[in-house]
Amino acid sequence: MSAGDPGGEPGHEFLTRVRSAFPRVERDHQDGHVLVVSHGLTLRAYLAMIDPRPTEPLPNASISTVEVHADGFCRVVTVALDPAGHGVPDAIGASRAHATALAR
């Protein structure tokens, strides 16, 4: 990501925002569960900060789960679970396979 969309935010600025936003959420909500709703690209960037293994695009309304420990350690638990069935059939199967692989 470098140039970004014409007239849009450059990629490096987007990643800087993601890198600063999610640690604030983690820090400000240490005592409970948090639901983050966002665009798929933003969520994929956050997931990649924690686990750099490639992921497929996230289906709309999919669920990814991250554990955040008191010491700041983060672990991706699930990626792109699609209970609403908004993804394409191949992506749904790939998402389930990826989530299973992460759980191992």
Q: What is the Cα–Cα distance from 32 to 6, expressed in whole angstroms?
A: 39
Q: How many CB atoms lie within 10 A of CB 30?
A: 11
Domain contains 6: no
75 CB neighbour count, 10 Å cutoff: 12
Does the residue 3 lie in any domain? no
Asked, for residue 86, whether it belongs to a domain, the answer is yes
User: Would residue 56 count as lying in a domain?
Assistant: yes
Q: Residue 58 domain-assigned?
A: yes
pLDDT tens-digit series, residues 29-87:
988 899 999 999 999 999 999 999 988 889 999 999 999 998 989 999 999 999 988 87
d(CA 71, CA 48): 19
| Domain housing 42 | 11-103
Q: Tokens for 29? A: 């909500």
Domain membership of residue 4 (yes or no) is no
Instruction: Assess if residue 87 is contained within a domain.
Output: yes
Per-residue pLDDT, 40? 92
Residues 63 and 57: their CA atoms lie apart, in Å, by 12
> Is residue 49 a part of any domain in this protein?
yes
pLDDT at residue 89 tops 70: no
- What total number of domains does the chain contain? 1
- The answer to whether residue 1 scores a pLDDT higher than 50 is no
